[in-house]
Structure 1
C-alpha cells in the first residue's frame, strides 16, 4: 500500500470497499435519478399536456437534442482520462458539476411565457444543457468503479449497491412525482412541476457532494494522463465493450418508450390515471432481484444472469399485452411485477459489465482508458433515450394523438405499441447480442495476466 492510501494495480483482487463508501457510491445514482428521472419519465407529458408543445415538435426536439447530446459522453470520457488531481480522475467531477446540474434541472421545468417558437427554443436549450451536465455527474459513477476496486466480486456488489440506490431514486420519482405536483401546484401543474423538481434537485446536489467526500480511488492508473490516440487503442478488438454499448442503447431506448407512455396508457387506454403511482411503485420488485444479483451472477455468470433478466422482462411484457387487450388491471399488474424482476437483473449488471471492459481493453491494448470506455454508458443510454423519445412522439403523432382529448382507436393503438410491444422487440435483440459476449469466461485469466504486466511496468518506473 502506498503512502497516499491508494492501491496500485499490481495488487490483484484485494481492494475491498467499506460499507460507508459503498452506500455513498450508491447514493450518487440516487441523486442522478431523483433529478433526471423526472425528465426522462415526465418531460414529454409536461411538454405536451402542461407546457403546450405539440407531440410532433417534441419528437423532433428529443431526436435532435439527444443525438447532439449523445456525443458529449466520449468527450467527457476523454477529459476524465486526462484528469490527474489529488482526488483522482473521476471524483472531481462530482464536486465541479453537482450544483450546475441541479440548477439546469430546475430551469428545464421552468415555463417562461413565450410564444410557440420561444417555448420550443427554450426547450431545446435547457434539454440539451441538462443532458450534458447529467453526463458530467453520471458518467463518473461508472468510470470511477474500476478505480474503487479490482476485485470482480466486489465490483458486482458495488454495481448492485449503485443500482439499488438508482432504482430507489427512480421509484421515489415515479411514485411520488405526480402526487407532489398535485399537492404543491394545487391545480397549477406548471407550478407543481417546478417546485417538485426544485426539491429533488436540491437533494440530488447534496447526495452528489456526499459521494465526492466519501469515496476513494484506490486502483491507480499506471498512465497518469491517457492521451486521446492511446485511449482509442483500448477500443480495438474490444468486442465486450461494443456489445455493452449496444446493450445500453437498446435497454434505455426500450425503457424510455415504456416509461414515457405509462401515464398515457393508464390515462387514455384504461381511463385509470389514478393507478400510475401504484403501478410505478411496483418497480420495487426490481429491488428484490438487485439484492439477489451478486449471488446469482456468482453462480451463473454475469452474462447468463442478464440473459435471464431479459427473459423475465419479455414474459412480463407479454402478460401486460394480454391484460391490455382484455382491459384487465390485475393481469397488467402481474406483468408489471414480473417485468420489474427481470429489469432488476439487467440494470444491476450494466455498469458492472461495462467496467469489466476497461480491464479487457487494457489486457488487449495495454491502455487503461476507463473514461472513454465507460463513456459508452452515457453515449448508449442517452442516444437510446433520444431515439426512444423521438420514436414515442413520432408514433403518437402518427396515431393522431391529441392532448387532453378523447383518443381515436389509432391513437390508443399507438400508445399501446409504445408501452407494450416496442420493449419486447428491444429485449429480444439485446438477448441475441449477449450470446456473443465472452468476457466472463476469460475474466480470471486476463486479470491475472494484467496484474503481472502492471507489476512489471511499475517496477520499471
Structure 2
C-alpha cells in the first residue's frame, strides 16, 4: 500500500456519508417545494420567502461548523466525531420536516420555518465534515481524487434512489394520501441515512496530522483565506452550480406535470441519473490526463449541450429528444460532482502553502456555504418566476405559467453553467500542485525531524 493510500473498506465507508446525505436532503431539494405548495397547502409566494430566508440563515451555519471543526480535538479526530454526534438528530428533523400537523395557515408556515431551518442547520453539521475530513484522509492528490470520486458515486446512488423511487414509494405507502406517503418515505430514508453516517464514523481515520497545534483559532484560520484565489473560485462555483441544479430539480415536477402533461414520467426522467456513475468512474482518468479544472469545464460544457437538446425537444414536442438531452447533461454532471470536494481540499493545501495556516474546517465549509446559499437563492428565484408567470397549484396553467416553468427548467441551468465555466478560467491550482505537495511534505518531514531531535 503506497503512502497515504486508503483501503477499500474506508473508501466505501467514506462514500456512504454522501449516500446518507443525498438520501435525505435530495428529497428536500427535489420535492419539498412541491410538498409545501401542493400537499401541505402553503402559497407559492410564502414558500419562496421561506426558502430564501431559511437558506440564507442556513448558509451562515456552514462557516460556523467549519470553525468548530478547526477547534475540535478528540480521540476520533476533528471532523469524524460530528458523524456520531449529529446523525440521529439529522434523521429525526428530516422526518419531521415532512410531517403535516393539523394547524392553521399561519401555524403551518411557522412549523415549516422551524423544521426547514433546523434540518438545514443539522445537515451542515454532518455535510461539512464530509469535505473537511478529505484532506486528513490522505495527502496523495490522486488518492484524494479517487476518494472524491467514490464519495460522489455514493452521493449519486443516494440521489438516484430518491429521484427514481420517491414518488412510487409515496404512492404505495400513502395509498392515495400524499401527506402520509411523504412522511413514511422520509422516515425510511432517514433510518438508512443515520445507519450510513454511523458507518462512516466507525470506519474512517484522520491520518494526515497538522504539524504544531491541533486547534486552529478562528483569527488564525482566516489567514488561510488571504490570497487564496482557488478558494474564492470554488465558493462561487459551488454557489452558481447548485443554484442551477436546484432550480432544475425543483421545476422537474412542475415541468412534467404541466408542460409535458404526464407526471408519471417523472420517475423515468429521474432514473436516468444513473448515467452520472459512468462519468464519475472516468473522472480520475480524465483529471490525471487533462487536469481537474479542464475536466470540470468539460462537464459543464456537456451539461449545456444537454440542456440545449432538451430545449430543442421542447420546441418540436419530442419527448425522446428531451430524455436524450437529459441523459447527455446528466453524463456531464459526473465530472463536476467528482471534483468539487477534491478541488476544495486543494484549497486547504494552498492556504497552508501560501500562508502557513491549515484550516481544513473553515476552508472546506465553503462547499456547504456556497451550495446552500445557491439553493436558497434558487428556491426564491424559482418561486418568484413561477409566481410572476401566474402559476396556480392544482390548476390548468396559462401560457405564461408554462413559459416560466420552461425558463426555470431549461435556460437558467444553462446560464449558471456558463458563469461557472467563466470562473474556472481563472483557476491556476493545477499548474502549482506538484510544487505545493513537495513543499508541504518537506515541511512536515522537517517538523518531524525537529520533534525527534528534541526527544533525543
Whether these two folds match at TM > 0.5 is yes
User: CA-to-partner distance for each residue in 1:70-120, whole Å, 9 max, x for gaps?
Assistant: 000000000000001111000100000000000000010011111111111
Q: What RMSD in Å do the two structures reach over aligned CA positions?
A: 0.8
Residues of 1 paired with 2:36 and 2:60: CA distance?
Answer: 24
Counting only pairs closer than 5 Å after superposition, residues 45-444 of structure 1 correspond to structure 2 as 45-222=34-211, 223-444=213-434
Segments of 5+ residues of structure 2 without an aligned counterpart are 452-456
The secondary structure found in structure 1 opposite 2:392 is coil
Residues of 1 paired with 2:380 and 2:316: CA distance?
Answer: 29
CA-CA distance at 1:460 after TM superposition? 3.4
CA-CA distance at 1:124 after TM superposition? 0.6
- Partner of residue 4, structure 1: none
User: CA-to-partner distance for each residue in 1:283-342, whole Å, 9 max, x for gaps?
Assistant: 111110000000111101000000000110000000101111222100101100100011
Residues of 1 paired with 2:289 and 2:50: CA distance?
Answer: 44
The secondary structure found in structure 1 opposite 2:146 is helix
Residues of 2 paired with 1:457 and 1:237: CA distance?
Answer: 25
- Partner of residue 454, structure 2: none
CA-CA distance at 1:272 after TM superposition? 1.3
CA-CA distance at 1:449 after TM superposition? 0.7
User: CA-to-partner distance for each residue in 1:12-66, whole Å, 9 max, x for gaps?
Assistant: x810000010000001100001111100100000000000001110000000110
Q: State the aligned residue count.
A: 449
Residues of 2 paired with 1:144 and 1:413: CA distance?
Answer: 43
The secondary structure found in structure 1 opposite 2:113 is helix
Segments of 5+ residues of structure 1 without an aligned counterpart are 1-12
The secondary structure found in structure 2 opposite 1:384 is helix
1:36 aligns with 2:21: no
Residues of 2 paired with 1:291 and 1:451: CA distance?
Answer: 29
Spell out structure 1 runs of 4+ moving beyond 6 A: none
The alignment's TM-score, normalised by the length of structure 2, stands at: 0.98
Residues of 2 paired with 1:376 and 1:254: CA distance?
Answer: 17
